Each structure stands twice: as C-alpha cells, then as structure tokens.
Structure 1
Amino acid sequence: MKRVALVGNLNNNFSAIMKWLRHEGYDAHLYYRAWPHFFHVKADTFDLHYLHYTHEVNWLQKGFRPADLNQDEIRNIFSAFDKIIAQGDEAAVLNYCGITIDIYFPYGTDISKYAHLPHHYSLWEKFRLLTRKKSGHTFRDVFAGTPSKYLYQAIKTAHYVFMDKSNPEFEETLHRIGIQGQFAYVPMPFIFYPEYEAEFKDPQPSVHWRSYVDRLRQENDLLILYHGRQYWKVLLNKFSGKNNDELIRGFARFMARKNPDTKVHLVMLDFGSDVGASKELIRELGIEQYVTWLPQMYRKDLMYLVSKIDIGSGEFGRSYLTFGTIIENMVMGKPVIHHRDDSLYQDSYPWLYPLINAQKADAIAERLLYYHNNMDEVVSMGKEAQRWVKEFFIEKPLEQIKNVLNK
C-alpha cells in the first residue's frame, strides 16, 4: 500500500483529497496547520474516523521562522512516505528542509502574490520595501513574503504542478516561476461529496443552522446563494475581486420586475473585506428585506445550506472555469450564475457544464427573470452540472493523481 502525505489544508482542500485517496486504497495522511479554525479537519467531516489520519503541525505558529524549524525532525516524518502532495506555506517549509514535492496544487494567492514577493529580508530591505514611493507593499506583505523564496522554489522544483484551466493572466503569472517539473491541467478534487450525501439523507442531519435554513427554504419559492467573500471594493490584488456588487445590483433589478406573488431571497455570508460596503449598497437599493446574512460557517454546515437553495453564484470579474463556491454548488446539483468565457476552455473538455452565464447587473437581472419563470430548466441544469463535476472534477483528476502516485 502506497503511503501518501498531503501537506497543507487551505479551505480543507487536502482533507477531501485524503479521504478520496483512502477511499481508493492508499494510506494517506494529512499534515496541516489548523489556522484559521475553518481549516481544521473537523470543519469538513461528520466522521471522527478521519481524525486518525490527520496531524496538526506547529511549524508556523509564529509565522515562517526558519530558526524555529527542526529540519531533521521534519525530514524524518516525510521520509516514511512514498509520495508528497503539498501547497501553501507548508510547502515552503518542506522546501526549506530540502524536501521535493511530488505534486503541487496552486490555490490562488500563492501564485498571484506570495511566490512573487521579494526574496531578500534584511532589515534594510524591509525598510526600503515599505518606504519606497508607490511600492504598493504593506507590513502584511513583508510578513507574508518571508517564506516566498521557499514557496517559489517548492513550486518550481515540484515533480508535477497540477491546476485547472483558468485565464491567461493567472496562468502567465504561474509560468513566470519557471516550472522545472511537468505541468498539466488537472483540477484539484477538493470535495468529498459521498460524506454529505450520506449525512443529508437523515431527516435531522448534524449541522448548525439547520432549523433556520429549513425555515428559509419553506418560506421562499426561489433561494439564491452567494457564499463567497464580499470582495469588490477594496482589493488585495488584480485577481482578488469577486465583483459580487454586480450580483447585488442585478438582484435588485430582478426583484423590481419579477412576479410580486413569488417569494425570493438572496442569501450571503458575513465574510470578506467589503461586507460593510455590500450592506450599504443593499440599503441604498432598498432590498434589505429580501437579503439574509448568515455567519461564516464550516463547510459541512455550508453544504447543507447549498443543498437547500435553487441557484448558486460564482464570480463576475475574470473568467474562471472552476473554484470553490461554484463546485460546492454544482456537486450538490445546483446550477450557478457566473461569468465564464467559454473560448478559454472548450479545447480542454468534451463539453462544459451548463450555467447561467452573466457578468453585469443588467444581464444578471435578465437571466434571473428568465429562470425564475422556467424553474424546470434550473433543475435540469443543476443535474447536468453535477454530472460534469463528478466526471471531470473528481473522477478523471483522481485517476491522474493516482497515475503519479503509482510511479
């Protein structure tokens, strides 16, 4: 039996891959920093059995501090594994310890920002970085940049770098690193849906907010969910904007035109740097009574909410094919309203999942109005999207991962 170490757990990505690999017969273990608490394995499982194969590490409790890292101890842990899959700051730790990664999965800001920060950190360099006019860097960047030299090298020297097709700008940023291993368009199968399907068959599943979510469902004919960050006004970098203000504006225009007898609600999470700006926009548009805010929650609780809505939402800025929120919606059989430039992806797949394709507020309003009057198409679209996710986002990527692990 091959022993596989998964290192890092941003957004609980690797806890799901660990479950898939154990399901496939591998002795897979997860090593991760349980910070923030939403990245703890317990946030994405109903089964305590998996906790036997997860190991919290203390490498990064005070940030990336090489002097605090016991290289011999870390090397000894991973010498017992046949293959290593890693991402994020934990991958930087492995590189610092001289450990080469077999598969690296980019997650976003590791490529768009952290790996490209300056790699020199004398006191003078830090001072110069912060005081230089129009540098665009902050104290936060200096702390985040500390491991960037090792993250950069971890990605560059990995035997394989797997990532789904995204957009030209993001991919160009990745390839500036100068990947020495093999690069392939392979999505990261970051969701273990059998666990949700089994739990949600119970009439009273073990989730927070269940009674509140059930009441929302009972009281509305159409539920629309946006569970990503509120991120459209104050942006971290050029890739970070979600443009979810377009959804809010489009929803308001849709509400002004829909059948007044139909009860509709937009559900969002109180999460992201622009929550305040979004709430102010909602007040200005006069739609407060039609919007429900829920707290940021564990994925296992979130997936119950997703199972009860009608239409999920993606992003309305740059085109992306797959990412967390839309996959979470589609794997539960829910269609998404989202911006996608099909020309970027048609050559990569035999067919693309159906979606409600819109980017600006007017188009969003028009699409919502149409599908509000054609709910049978919404249900059909959700089923087809679910089929696409299971085949092209889970099954085929797992086969490609297994091909590497079995070498």
Structure 2
Amino acid sequence: MNAKGNKVLIDGWSLFCQRNPSIKKTLVFIEYGPDVIASKKYIANLGLESTVSWLPLMYRKDLMAGLSMADIVAAEFIQSWICGGIIYEALVMGKPLIMHSDEHKNPAKSANLYPIYNARTPEAIAGHLQQFVVNPDSGRNNGIAGHTWYLNNVVNKAISMYANYLINRASELGKIAR
C-alpha cells in the first residue's frame, strides 16, 4: 500500500476519525493503481468502511466533477512531487492540497510554489484535516491561492508562449507586420 502512500493516508484518516467521531466525513478513493485491494482490506481491518467511499475508474473529465465536491484533495505521501495529474486537477478546481513535498519545506523554493498542507505522516495528515475543520475559510483560501498560482504559472505562461509563437510565425509568413 505504498505506491502513493495510501497506508499513511488511511492511518491519518483513522486518527482524524477517532478524534472527530461526530463530524460528517467521507474519504473518497478512486479504484486506480496497484494498492486498491490492499487498501480496501486495510480500511476494513481498521473498521473505517463507513467513512470511506470508492469510486470506479473514470475519465479525467468525470473525476473533475467529483473533485468539485471535495473540501480537500489528497495527493502523494511517499514520493515528493511538485506536479502531476491530481495535483494539477486540484489546482484547477481551487481545492486545497494535502500531500508530501520536500520542495515546499525549502523556503527559497516554496515562495514560488502553490500552497499545500505538507504532510508525510499519519499525525501530520490528521492534524491538517483538523486544521481545515477548525478554519475552513483558511483552507478554501489556500485552494484559491493554488488556483491563482496555476493560472499565473501554467495557463498564462502557456498562452503567452503560444501567442508569441503565432505572432512570430505570422510575421515570418508576411501576414502581419512586426
């Protein structure tokens, strides 16, 4: 269960559930990856089935609809990634991310990165989930800041690059004056 850190996430979820028995909560997984069967068994062994839902493998466009309903999105807890599918999808949707990132620990690097709840242990995951429950507006602002980062550093840069290419190409072909 360690391809992406499902065990760490599940253990963090278990701690959070123990500390917050009266809060309505659901951890949602997608049936994707090598750890699905082991994760389901582990969740059952911990008695967490009533707080976990599994969605079938789906197209990314359908996944985005599900993400729109999430309060917070979990990514990777083993490897330190700064980009990838679920990370970009959460940023696009303006959802706060909880994940492990060495780069976010370095103040010189993290100043130019999107905000996250940085966690690599069950205790840190449970703590960040609790922080979100106590101050959901801060969490939502974290997600909005991530979305703004994505627009400025991914979308707008790509649009600018393509616009410059098209202007230069049109100029080379004599279609517009420089």
1:1-400 map, 5 Å: 232=2, 241-258=3-20, 260-342=21-103, 351-400=112-161
Structure 1 residue 315: deviation in Å?
Answer: 0.2
Matched-pair identity in %: 39
8 Å CA contact 1:314, 1:336 repeated in 2: yes
**Amino acid of the residue matched to residue 65 of structure 2?**
Y
What's 2:173 paired with?
none
* Distance (Å, rounded) in 2 between the aligned partners of 1:284 and 1:325: 27
8 Å CA contact 1:321, 1:345 repeated in 2: no
Change (3 A) 1:374 1:348: closer
Structure 1 residue 357: deviation in Å?
Answer: 0.8
8 Å CA contact 1:330, 1:389 repeated in 2: yes
How many residue pairs match? The answer is 168
SS at match of 1:264: coil
* Distance (Å, rounded) in 2 between the aligned partners of 1:370 and 1:344: 18
8 Å CA contact 2:95, 2:146 repeated in 1: yes
**Amino acid of the residue matched to residue 376 of structure 1?**
D
8 Å CA contact 1:346, 1:352 repeated in 2: no
Structure 1 residue 401: deviation in Å?
Answer: 5.1
Structure 1 regions of 5+ residues with no counterpart?
1-230, 233-240
SS at match of 2:28: strand
* Distance (Å, rounded) in 1 between the aligned partners of 2:106 and 2:8: 24
* Distance (Å, rounded) in 1 between the aligned partners of 2:132 and 2:78: 22
Q: CA-atom RMSD, angstroms?
A: 2.2
* Distance (Å, rounded) in 2 between the aligned partners of 1:397 and 1:346: 26
Structure 1 residue 351: deviation in Å?
Answer: 2.9
Structure 1 residue 366: deviation in Å?
Answer: 1.4
8 Å CA contact 1:315, 1:339 repeated in 2: yes
Structure 1 residue 352: deviation in Å?
Answer: 2.1
Structure 2 regions of 5+ residues with no counterpart?
170-178
Change (3 A) 1:319 1:261: same
Deviates more, 1:338-347 or 1:261-270: 338-347
8 Å CA contact 2:12, 2:122 repeated in 1: yes
* Distance (Å, rounded) in 2 between the aligned partners of 1:298 and 1:268: 14
What's 1:121 paired with?
none
Structure 1 residue 287: deviation in Å?
Answer: 0.4
* Distance (Å, rounded) in 1 between the aligned partners of 2:127 and 2:116: 14
* Distance (Å, rounded) in 2 between the aligned partners of 1:404 and 1:316: 38
SS at match of 2:140: helix
Q: Deviations over 1:24-72 (max 9, x none)?
A: xxxxxxxxxxxxxxxxxxxxxxxxxxxxxxxxxxxxxxxxxxxxxxxxx
Structure 1 residue 397: deviation in Å?
Answer: 3.2
- Structure number, greater radius of gyration: 1
8 Å CA contact 2:71, 2:96 repeated in 1: yes
**Amino acid of the residue matched to residue 161 of structure 2?**
Q
SS at match of 2:26: strand
Name whichever structure is richer in strand by fraction: 1
What's 1:211 paired with?
none
8 Å CA contact 2:96, 2:146 repeated in 1: yes
